[in-house]
Amino acid sequence: MTGAKRRNSKRHVDTALVELGRDPHANHGVVNPPVYHASTILFPTLAALESAENGTHPGPTYGRRGTTTAQALEQTVAALDGADKAIALPSGKAAMALTFATFTRAGDHVLVSDNAYGPVRMICNDLMEKFGVETTYFDPHIGSGISKLMRPNTRLVWCESPGSLTFEMSDIPAIAAEARQRGIKVGVDNSWASPYYYKPLDHGADIAMQAGTKYLVGHSDAMVGVLSAQMDDFKSLRHMADALGYHLAPDDCYLALRGIRTLSVRLERHQANGLALAEYFAKRPEVARVIHPARPDHPDHALWQRDFKGASGLFAVVLKPGVSHNAFAAFTDGLELFGMGYSWGGYESLLLPVRPEKIRSAVPWREEGKVLRIHAGLEDLSDLTHDLDMGFDRLHAHG
């Protein structure tokens, strides 16, 4: 795998998505890395066993530390992220919990963006607080002003840009510059863009996280989390992952690798459908605001334009106030192509009512209308807009 990675390192990312993590000649000509189910790994010599014990063995050493299938996924994502190494984990939430557990200890302080994925608060408020780690939530727009919140015991800054409910952008380079001066680690949840459209490590972050459940897998059939980092931080993360017994099953590793092969073409369609649906909603009289960072009317559009190479299919819509519950239910319940579900990033379109005001603390959410998070899938655009048209007709019929 190492040789293949080196040969492909200068190729275009679209080619890398197809080639990385594959070594057919080492697998009897099989195009995709086979799924290796294993717990016990046998070593042919004492020297090989000793190399596993001192961390220099190049292949798998024990099932919990990952099989050859997991190594293929980790090498692929690390290369896409521009990192030395990556760790495949059971979910995006597990990846975040591992990051917090790795870089903090009792008495420490962390900073978390107020627009971050809701379950991050469970990690901070329930788990980390229990072990003596204090959390301060900050305005996603804080930029270099984050220095005012940093303390001598601050160990980690956690960002999500854009946030996956309210889609504010953060100035990651400005935040990372302040953190670097103080030896504070910066982690970024990059699930929205994936490494195809944004690479956090190139913008100053120390840890790039993504819920591979979303765009890497792309088919709504596997739970995956991945952390990418340079070698020193990777070693710390790997050690803590071993201590906690984290690993990702080989079948899920295979599904993530399979999804990566089509990441570019899927994201192009997600982006096109997402921008077209955003424009559709912007023209609807029932809509107060569309929140999509790739649109020029987004307050943080300049940041997105500066740092990102593209947009995914996820954005939000704020309806005008006054929609009754019955009318809203008539709108949602009759939709045929937009399902209601908590994830996103798969091939299917989703529409989810969300309540940002329930989780915000540093910057209260003050929009009065109902908020819908939209994921634009890969369906035909005219079918999607027709489905929404019928939904708005039902909304008015029950108003």
Question: 10 Å Cβ neighbour count for 62?
Answer: 14
**Catalytic residue of the set 185, 214, 266, 370:** 214
d(CA 78, CA 94): 18
Give catalytic status of residue 117 as yes or no. yes
**What is each CA distance from 363 to 10, 137, 164, 189, 356, in whole angstroms?**
43, 9, 16, 19, 10
Catalytic, 214? Answer yes
Query: Closest Cα partner for 242 from 85, 64, 99?
Result: 64
Instruction: In whole angstroms, give the CA distance from residue 31 to residue 27.
Output: 8
In residues, how long is the chain?
Answer: 399
Catalytic residue among 7, 11, 64, 105: 64
| DSSP class of 143 | G
Catalytic status, residue 189: yes
Max alpha carbon distance in the chain (Å)?
76
In whole angstroms, what separates CA 383 from the centre of its chain?
28
Rounded Cα distance between 284 and 278, Å, is 10
Torsion of CA 363, 367, 371, 374, to 10 degrees: -70
Catalytic residue chosen out of the listed positions 36, 117, 198, 280? 117
Long-range contacts of the stretch 229-233 (C-beta < 8 A, 24+): 229/83, 229/84, 229/85, 229/86, 229/201, 230/83, 230/84, 230/85, 230/201, 230/206, 231/84, 231/85, 233/185, 233/206, 233/207
The one catalytic residue in 171, 189, 300, 307 is 189
- Which residues are catalytically annotated? 64, 117, 189, 214
